[in-house]
Structure 1
Amino acid sequence: MNAQRGSTVERSIADLARALVAADAGGWTPDGVKSLAGQLGWAWGGTPDRPLLVTGPTSGDARLRPVGKYEERYVDGESYVELAVPLAAVADDAAAQAAAFRAAREELVAALGKPSVMGSHGGMGPFYDSGPLWGAPFTRWRGSPNTLELRAGGSGPELVLRPTGPAENWFWRQGVGEEHSISGFFGSNRDPANAGLGLPGRWTARSWETVSTSLGDFLGALPAEADALGITIGMPFYGRTGAGSPILFDVACDGDRLALGCFAPDGIDPAALGWGTLAQYPDTASIWSDDARVWRVDAGGPGEPKGHALAEMLVATARAVGVDEPTDLIVGGEADYVDGYHVTYYGLGLPTG
């Protein structure tokens, strides 16, 4: 394809989103996407293997994703599965990336209303793409035949228009039960747009090594993703032992800072396992007051938590308490409800109860 001049008009993020929602991709066929480009005032560019729509904005041209070997089994006549528009080029650190995503999300919410779906792609997005290391949050305005998504891209937030069916078909088919078959977390609300939304099954961690990996990935990205999404996470963990299923941990991410609390039974030395006190972490007083029985760690803000070290500490503590198997470490059901969304933590591989 020969590159042509695209529109020189800079749209706001809100105006761009409205234009994408109103556009007709004609079934995402070649002719339909050419018509879409014309509706948006953009021109063809790139190559047949890596087609672009020349948009004009300094943040970069829009990328079209053709159907290839990773997409073909999930489509139903579409030749393309997404159009991704970069919104900004942002410094390569978690705090800056989260802030840019949050600003774009707030503008989109003001324009389009609350998204019907939100979450994190974790380490594996639609069609097996890998996400940014700092975190992979997304918000989604589900529709038919197309869905609009704000997602974390390689250099900053991206606005993505895609046919609804293929990506949802891909997601649903990942529920095969194998370890790490799905990552991240997925939340949906009661928006009528979610009628007919299918959700995949979950997988179960079969070893403590798997728990350390999955929990480490989750904790390392959590403050950046929570900040980007504007959510607060409160996640208790219970441990099934011969003495019952007492609460062992509390993972709290309020705003953009991650803190972990430990409710250790008698006979356990939390300090030897890496836990600290209120005197060491005074900022956690707003979460667990001055209760000396709660051991704690302030893990920091976006980009700061040492996710895998934290996960190993949690696993070592659970095993010291007498939690024998990963299936006996249970995520409290309280964590399933976040800001009006019902959330499934697919990437953890742990039971919820």
Structure 2
Amino acid sequence: MTETIAELAGRLIGSDAGGWTQDGARALVAGLGWSWTETAAGPVIGTGRSTGDARLRPVREWEERYADGEAYLELAVPVQPAEPDAASQAAAFRAVKDELTAALGEASIMGVYGDLGPFFDSGPLWGTPFLRWRGKPDTLELRAGKTGPELILQPTDPVENCFWRQGIGEENSITGFFGSRNDPSNGGLGFPGGWSARSWETVTNALADFLGTLPADTTALGTSISMPVYGELPDGDSPILFDVTCRDRLLLGCFASDDADPAALGWGTVAEHPETRRVWPDDDDPKWRIDAGGPGEPSGRALAETIVATARAMGVRTPADLIVGGEAEWIGAYRVRFYGLGLATG
């Protein structure tokens, strides 16, 4: 009988990695009933599963600062191959997420890595969602892999140490977003400091990365984002300028006055973007809108340039004056930090 993904997850959680030493990792693999083959890139682990071999990630020289005696940082097991397009990848991730949630309960942590994954790896271009069932000494993670979602068993401390050390305040030092539940499993969890965008170019790049994959990420995670964005204007007012909402489609609303000429900046009306009516049923509130599409469809760069140009046309002087509404910080039971945007929250 074929082992389900939930059953595999249970076996991984119940395994003993022996501190992730050489001997401990070998005992872990043997205990799972899998084979071990040495290669130049690290051990390849034969699982006998139709989804292919697993991988052990050795601690390399530049990663030693995050480890404390571990020889390996993770065991990655492919669990659900999918076609390479964003919609197929997001659907495969969501299916595994639903199976694991039914078996293990809600994940302790959810988020999106952006350009910088654990230990500075880059993820797939379609999106980089992840979920973690945090534990001590090990954590189980569902992560977007190159060919489909992967289950990752990892020592908890190194991956969290790497994340915490990225909070150095330099632009783009942390990407994506990170959400955690108020749950006993998150006891002792640390949060790094963020960074602030210092130029409109940085804001444009950060928004482009965030918006380009957002519908794929939220579809995969089975969640939605509702993000108001405010602007501090020279007259001292701080009105809402934009509303970004995303579940299976990315929809943007703009509250700019006609004096800013939103149409020339790339905004349309409900007649041009009828899907937006499901979020904003009043055709004039907001008047200006964009339906950016579903997984794999948004042009993050074009959307970011439109938002930045509109904010500046409305009188927002600096990136520090563009503010993500605090309402966006809660996604269901998760408190979310939008590290990758480099914008203030208030």
TM-score range, shorter chain: over 0.9
The answer for unaligned runs of 5 or more in structure 1 is 1-8
- Give runs of aligned pairs for residues 233-252 of structure 1, distance below 5 A: 233-243=225-235, 244-252=237-245
Contact 1:10 1:56 in 2 (8 A): no
Code of the aligned partner of 1:115: A
Match of 1:292 in 2: 284
Task: Give 1:10 deviation, angstroms.
Answer: 3.5
Contact 1:65 1:83 in 2 (8 A): yes
Code of the aligned partner of 1:247: I
SS across alignment from 1:311: helix
SS across alignment from 1:249: strand
Match of 1:100 in 2: 92
- Give runs of aligned pairs for residues 34-45 of structure 1, distance below 5 A: 34-45=26-37
Code of the aligned partner of 2:245: A
Kindly indicate whether residue 53 of structure 2 is the aligned counterpart of residue 61 of structure 1. yes
Distance in 2 (CA, whole Å) between partners of 1:48 and 1:128 is 20
Match of 1:195 in 2: 187
Contact 1:65 1:81 in 2 (8 A): yes
SS across alignment from 1:186: strand
Distance in 1 (CA, whole Å) between partners of 2:268 and 2:43 is 53
Code of the aligned partner of 1:114: E
Task: Give 1:266 deviation, angstroms.
Answer: 4.9
Q: Percent identity?
A: 63
TM-score, length-normalised on structure 1?
0.96
Of 318, 336, 346, 1:343 maps to 336
Code of the aligned partner of 2:297: E
SS across alignment from 2:28: helix
Distance in 1 (CA, whole Å) between partners of 2:38 and 2:328 is 45
Code of the aligned partner of 2:292: A
* Number of residue equivalences: 344
- Give runs of aligned pairs for residues 125-144 of structure 1, distance below 5 A: 125-144=117-136
Distance in 1 (CA, whole Å) between partners of 2:20 and 2:123 is 24
Kindly indicate whether residue 28 of structure 2 is the aligned counterpart of residue 28 of structure 1. no
Kindly indicate whether residue 305 of structure 2 is the aligned counterpart of residue 312 of structure 1. yes
More deviation in 155-164 or 240-249? Answer: 240-249
Contact 1:278 1:290 in 2 (8 A): no
Code of the aligned partner of 2:26: K
Distance in 1 (CA, whole Å) between partners of 2:124 and 2:175 is 13
SS across alignment from 1:193: helix
Distance in 1 (CA, whole Å) between partners of 2:285 and 2:68 is 57
Contact 1:70 1:128 in 2 (8 A): no
Code of the aligned partner of 2:65: R
Code of the aligned partner of 1:329: L
- Give runs of aligned pairs for residues 58-207 of structure 1, distance below 5 A: 58-207=50-199
Task: Give 1:265 deviation, angstroms.
Answer: 2.6
Task: Give 1:292 deviation, angstroms.
Answer: 2.0
Match of 1:5 in 2: none
Distance in 1 (CA, whole Å) between partners of 2:244 and 2:289 is 10
Of 291, 316, 322, 1:329 maps to 322
Distance in 1 (CA, whole Å) between partners of 2:27 and 2:244 is 49
More deviation in 273-282 or 291-300? Answer: 291-300
Distance in 1 (CA, whole Å) between partners of 2:167 and 2:19 is 27
Match of 1:6 in 2: none
Name the CA shift for 1:293/1:49 in 2 (closer, same or farther; >3 Å): closer
Code of the aligned partner of 2:102: A
Distance in 1 (CA, whole Å) between partners of 2:40 and 2:254 is 55
Task: Give 1:48 deviation, angstroms.
Answer: 5.5
SS across alignment from 1:171: helix
Distance in 2 (CA, whole Å) between partners of 1:152 and 1:21 is 19
Match of 1:3 in 2: none
Cα displacement string for residues 289-320 of structure 1 (whole angstroms, at most 9, x for unaligned residues): 13325200000000000001000000000000
Contact 1:30 1:79 in 2 (8 A): yes
TM-score, length-normalised on structure 2?
0.98
Runs ≥4 residues deviating over 3 A? none
